[in-house]
């Protein structure tokens, strides 16, 4: 009897998954990929997979003396719940979890999430991906793009060009979104299965890093963003040019910096001509993963200038003015990859 019940649930989930895929495929044909993220979010709200509606999230503007640079603090207690997970920790009798129970492994999804999580299968630059809702979002629409086959959450030299292609394929879905990759073990990623974040901007306003870099970007040439507390390289231009420019730079830096190198990558097509993109590359040292006095890990969202806080201690420090511009800049400075500016100037001089 127990085996029959498992078979029945598997068949019901397969039907639901097939109908969801057909619905989203039809939406893509009729309205393009730009319509998908909102539909995926709506489906996840209806099934109950999204656990936080962001009603308790509050943003604070942190002004600086630098023109065009205003940091943001997002107090979001719901985001802190992600560490407890959104589904089962252990498989019920008759079932097993693979890859140490990783929530992004396709085989684990129906077991852990009880049929409430319905991935959208697609290809990004020829690689099979699942597009999933984020159960504990930090922006209004927040999705996860995870490879269907296991791949480590790393950006190795041999893979950098392909990873950039996948990232920029997703970025072309809509200029409303930012695509973000956090390197594992030191740059903000908490799940070792390869994935990218895909999220909207608050009230469609640029992130602080975007606003500062806007007037500094030179097409097809990598530039260090001036006036930011840690080194970030920005490149804008035709997608293929950006891929070649950045992949060469990142490979050279990985070879120079050694085993402790990791990174954050953020990409968008906002403000770009058709076929163009903007990519931000922040070199990181995996030994500088966390900052004393800051409750979260410093990932791509923080590099973009929006600090994510979720503890009551954080809230008290915000209300007391202890988390201010100096605090934000000290956090960002503390995770910098030392020596990158010297490497970058030397690299550019040799080009």
Place of tokens 């394929």: 169
Taking 50 as the pLDDT cut, the residues of the chain under it are: none
- Choices 3.30.428.70, 3.30.499.10, 4.10.910.10, 3.50.50.60: CATH for 2-350: 3.30.428.70
Place of tokens 């929530």: 103
Q: pLDDT tens digits, residue range 178-208?
A: 999 998 777 888 899 999 999 999 988 999 9
136, 194, 17, 114 alpha-carbon torsion, rounded to 10°: -50
Q: Look at residue 86 in the predicted model and tell me its pLDDT.
A: 64
C-alpha–C-alpha distance, residues 224 and 175, integer Å: 23
pTM for this model (two decimals): 0.95
Q: pLDDT tens digits, residue range 259-269?
A: 999 999 999 99
Please, what's the largest Cα pairwise distance for the chain? 71
Q: Look at residue 82 in the predicted model and tell me its pLDDT.
A: 64
Q: Look at residue 102 in the predicted model and tell me its pLDDT.
A: 94
Whether the CB-CB separation of 250 and 175 falls below 8 Å is answered with no
Q: Look at residue 295 in the predicted model and tell me its pLDDT.
A: 66
């Amino acid at each position: 009897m127990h085996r029959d019940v498992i078979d029945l649930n598997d068949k019901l989930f397969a039907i639901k998954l097939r109908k969801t895929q057909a619905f989203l495929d039809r939406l893509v044909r009729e309205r393009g990929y730009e319509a998908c993220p909102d539909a995926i979010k709506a489906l996840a709200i209806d099934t109950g997979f999204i656990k936080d509606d962001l009603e308790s999230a509050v943003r604070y503007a942190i002004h600086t003396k630098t023109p065009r640079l205003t940091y943001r603090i997002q107090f979001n207690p719901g985001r802190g719940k992600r560490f407890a997970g959104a589904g089962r920790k252990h498989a019920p009798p008759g079932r097993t979890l693979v890859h140490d129970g990783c929530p992004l492994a396709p085989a684990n999804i129906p077991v852990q999430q009880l049929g409430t999580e319905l991935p959208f299968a697609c290809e990004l630059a020829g690689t099979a991906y699942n597009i999933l809702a984020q159960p504990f979002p930090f922006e209004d629409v927040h999705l996860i793009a995870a490879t269907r086959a296991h791949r480590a959450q790393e950006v190795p030299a041999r893979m950098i060009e392909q990873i950039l292609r996948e990232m920029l394929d997703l970025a072309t879905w809509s200029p409303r979104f930012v695509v973000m990759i956090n390197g594992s073990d030191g740059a903000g990623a908490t799940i070792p299965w390869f994935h990218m974040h895909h999220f909207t901007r608050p009230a469609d306003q640029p992130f602080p890093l975007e606003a500062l870099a806007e007037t500094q970007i030179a097409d097809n040439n990598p530039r260090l963003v001036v006036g930011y507390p840690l080194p970030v390289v920005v490149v804008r231009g035709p997608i293929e040019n950006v891929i070649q420019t950045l992949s060469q730079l990142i490979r050279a830096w990985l070879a120079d910096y050694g085993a402790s190198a990791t990174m954050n990558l953020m990409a968008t097509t906002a403000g770009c001509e058709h076929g163009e993109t903007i990519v931000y590359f922040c070199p990181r040292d995996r030994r500088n993963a966390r900052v004393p006095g800051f409750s979260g890990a410093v990932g791509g969202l923080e590099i973009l200038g929006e600090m994510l806080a979720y503890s009551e201690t954080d809230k008290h420090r915000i209300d007391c003015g202890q988390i201010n511009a100096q605090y934000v800049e000290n956090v960002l400075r503390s995770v910098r990859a030392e020596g990158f500016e010297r490497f970058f100037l030397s690299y550019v001089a040799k080009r």
